[in-house]
Structure 1
């Protein structure tokens, strides 16, 4: 990814910013992405890079202290301020990072869950929501995501990626294997393609 001259990369400590390089067709829409617990933020860079190169989005991957995003109490504005030229913001996260994203969703234009679900009730909101899950996920299992479905708006888009696990082998984060991840049968490229297509489609519908 660092060798791809279509992507401009910056890291100021609060977050890693991946943005379309000048002349690469930036759309003015971006995603604040919150990592899962104890996962290096850079582990998500390759997975999310297609949003930059294919969809023209900027991505801010937050860098919480101790890699524990759930206890990061900074507001969304801490991270949106890292890309001041963006007009429309989505917020999302992986695993426990997604739980935190749900708490910040009222300050964003859309919510994207990556192998995650909400603990707070957003069912009465008009917020566009996309949930990306893995059929082989042993932590945020399909049943757990189904059990929390009632906390999302009725029109939330629920996508289960066949063969994707929780994090190992880069299904939702290139951080190596973790206990309980599940065994993926989908390739990294297959999972990344679904992420790029689905998040890009959601972004295209936002004002």
Structure 2
């Protein structure tokens, strides 16, 4: 087999693998679809969650999915934030990898032009990309990291950027040691919360993930803790 043929086969295999995401659990998608307080718009590049029963705040979150994770897997985790009046735009990254997606933040905020204040966030590799996006748009007034850290963007001198970093004590991918190693990349006053008993996959709803630790906290308990921390953070940032 020629080198060219090997490269073609390798590239084909990668693209096929990358385009087969870890699917959202059917029950979590159904729960949000049946939730009268959340209006879901599923678009080719994003999933937009708008408050349906709560008066919308002038505040939104652009959230980048983890590597090869179906964006719908974050609907239920973030739905409580929507109930508090925050509009959420979940991004479908190019090839399923946010670190390969160089679209501007404005490409996603344009879908909800009525919102003037934005936080950006992400899970796992999505969070790595979110760190960089905080530096590209003056409307960004907060950063949310779920099982993630700023691996390539130094935000330590950005004293005006509120940051919430949620991690799991049983996370086998974004391990507690990794969270600690990259702590210096965040502002001194960043809020770091380790959820005891939670693992990497509990920041979404897509089932077990290879390489992850074993959670000792139930999915419902983990989701409740994440929701509480997100609501508390968004109550202090933005307009």
Deviation of 1:87 (Å): 2.2
Which of 89, 106, 118 does residue 89 from structure 1 map onto? 118
Q: Alignment partner of 2:227: what SS?
A: helix
Aligned twin of 1:144? 178
Which of 18, 36, 54 does residue 24 from structure 1 map onto? 54
Which of 1, 6, 11 does residue 42 from structure 2 map onto? 11
Q: Structure 2: how far apart are the matches of 1:188 and 1:83?
A: 30
What do residues 1-33 of structure 1 show as CA deviations (whole Å, max 9, x unaligned)? 101111111122121000101x42212211111
Q: Structure 2: how far apart are the matches of 1:60 and 1:184?
A: 28
In the comparison of the two structures, how many residue pairs are matched? 202
Q: Structure 2: how far apart are the matches of 1:192 and 1:178?
A: 17
RMSD: 1.1
Which of 147, 157, 167 does residue 191 from structure 2 map onto? 157
Going by fraction, where is helix more abundant, 1 or 2? 2
Q: Structure 2: how far apart are the matches of 1:90 and 1:63?
A: 17
Which of 232, 236, 239 does residue 201 from structure 1 map onto? 232
Name structure 1 gaps, 5 residues minimum: none
Aligned twin of 2:28? none
Aligned twin of 2:75? 45
| TM-score normalised per structure 1 | 0.94
Aligned twin of 1:104? 133
What do residues 118-152 of structure 1 show as CA deviations (whole Å, max 9, x unaligned)? 02100000210000000000110111100100000
Name structure 2 gaps, 5 residues minimum: 1-31
What do residues 75-107 of structure 1 show as CA deviations (whole Å, max 9, x unaligned)? 111111111121211000000000000010122
Deviation of 1:65 (Å): 2.5
Aligned twin of 1:117? 149
Q: Alignment partner of 2:128: what SS?
A: helix
Q: Structure 2: how far apart are the matches of 1:51 and 1:187?
A: 20
| TM-score normalised per structure 2 | 0.82
Q: Alignment partner of 1:117: what SS?
A: coil
